Homo-oligomer: A and B are copies of this chain.
């Protein structure tokens, strides 16, 4: 496995989040000689928020988490890689419940406080016996999380990611300081596995579940929901945010009007965007990190649809892979998006180079300058569709032979 050329130089040194204890284990669910199971224990009173795949064929752990979320309380998150426990019917539900019961039994709380995520092949029953044997071992090995612990956890949840993903930020307000730390996995949907976008974010700040959900939903909308690798949506996408409450426990944040929330929201959004960008940078076969900005749309939703049409167009993505300033394909992608666009006012920039304006090629356009920008590892396409003030930004990667190599390979 070659590490993506767009990978960060190294896994970051992530700070502790007070109250979080973590263990990882090589349970042998599918992979040999690597950790494939992660358990994080959280202190009593930890609040939780979550967002999940919009797939109408969600995996069993997604059903489980959705059912448990309304209590707003969590004591553990368990994640395995190698098997998605998706499209496994009744057997999948049973395996999910058994996983939660085993952890709850070993640690002395309720199964309803255990959150679950699974990533890997679809349609194969999760090997319950393996989990029931491994989970008590993990429970016995839990330790307060260290930088090495975060790195191990980020590695355990990967499938065919080419690098583990982590990010952190600090929230400060008057005398209060809290950490926000996240790990994530995903690079689109990767063979041999049905891959998945998973992210687990932890903070030691005391925040009510309701406010936490409000903050998470907003942060996800601006980060994980603004990336696309190949337009394919997993059955298992899950983002969970846990607040242990160890910082500010005597005065938790319980309203969105709390002034301390600004710093927290900033830190959360920073971590979410960092993780989301790392997922794009690990996009299957990616050789370019691509920012698509759309302005001048009827509204922000229309801008987003147009930006996704550009970002998901195989023709735009292959042109980027070839470092080919074929901006006609951007016109095509705008045209097919189905949102209001004024062809005769359309403007397109490749990096800072104006390629088109007023519906024709820009008189000053230099294909040489545009191509020079496209040779960079991070490129920007900007479009103004000339009808309003709606705007959106989407991040994606290019479409290369590497994507075909990864996804047209056999699973076995």
Query: How many A residues are at the interface, by size bracket?
Result: 35 or more
* CB < 8 Å neighbour of A331 from B86, B328, B343, B407: B86
A331 touches B87 (CB 8 A): yes
* Binary flags per residue of A352-365, CB closer than 8 Å to B gives 1, else 0: 00001011110000
Indicate if A338 sits at the interface (CB-CB under 8 A).
Answer: yes
- Residues from 377 to 395 in A contacting B, C-beta threshold 8 Å: none
Give me 23 A-to-B residue pairs in the complex whose CB atoms sit less than 8 angstroms apart, sorted by A's number: A54-B338, A55-B336, A56-B340, A56-B341, A57-B332, A57-B335, A87-B328, A87-B343, A89-B358, A122-B328, A123-B356, A189-B332, A191-B318, A191-B319, A230-B315, A232-B332, A232-B336, A315-B407, A318-B407, A322-B408, A399-B408, A401-B401, A403-B404
Interface centre among A89, A328, A340 (most CB of B within 10 A): A328
A410 touches B324 (CB 8 A): yes
Indicate if A34 sits at the interface (CB-CB under 8 A).
Answer: no
Question: With the chains together, A399 CA to B400 CA distance in Å?
Answer: 12
- Number of copies of this kind of chain in the complex: 2
With A232-B313, A232-B333 known as contacts, the answer to whether A324 contacts B57 (CB < 8 A) is: no
A233 touches B332 (CB 8 A): yes
Indicate if A326 sits at the interface (CB-CB under 8 A).
Answer: yes
B56 touches A331 (CB 8 A): no
Indicate if A177 sits at the interface (CB-CB under 8 A).
Answer: no
* Binary flags per residue of A266-280, CB closer than 8 Å to B gives 1, else 0: 000000000000000
B321 touches A56 (CB 8 A): no
B332 touches A234 (CB 8 A): yes
Indicate if A78 sits at the interface (CB-CB under 8 A).
Answer: no
Interface centre among A54, A234, A235 (most CB of B within 10 A): A235
Give the chain B neighbours of A56 by CB distance below 8 A. 334-335, 337-341, 343
* Binary flags per residue of A125-142, CB closer than 8 Å to B gives 1, else 0: 000000000000000000
A194 touches B332 (CB 8 A): yes
B57 touches A334 (CB 8 A): yes
B400 touches A408 (CB 8 A): yes
Indicate if A149 sits at the interface (CB-CB under 8 A).
Answer: no
- Residues from 83 to 116 in A contacting B, C-beta threshold 8 Å: 84, 86-89, 91
With A324-B411, A407-B319 known as contacts, the answer to whether A89 contacts B360 (CB < 8 A) is: yes
Indicate if A231 sits at the interface (CB-CB under 8 A).
Answer: yes
Indicate if A263 sits at the interface (CB-CB under 8 A).
Answer: no
Give the chain B neighbours of A233 by CB distance below 8 A. 332, 335-336
Closest Cβ of chain B to A234, distance in Å, is: 7
A408 touches B318 (CB 8 A): yes
Indicate if A72 sits at the interface (CB-CB under 8 A).
Answer: no
B331 touches A122 (CB 8 A): yes
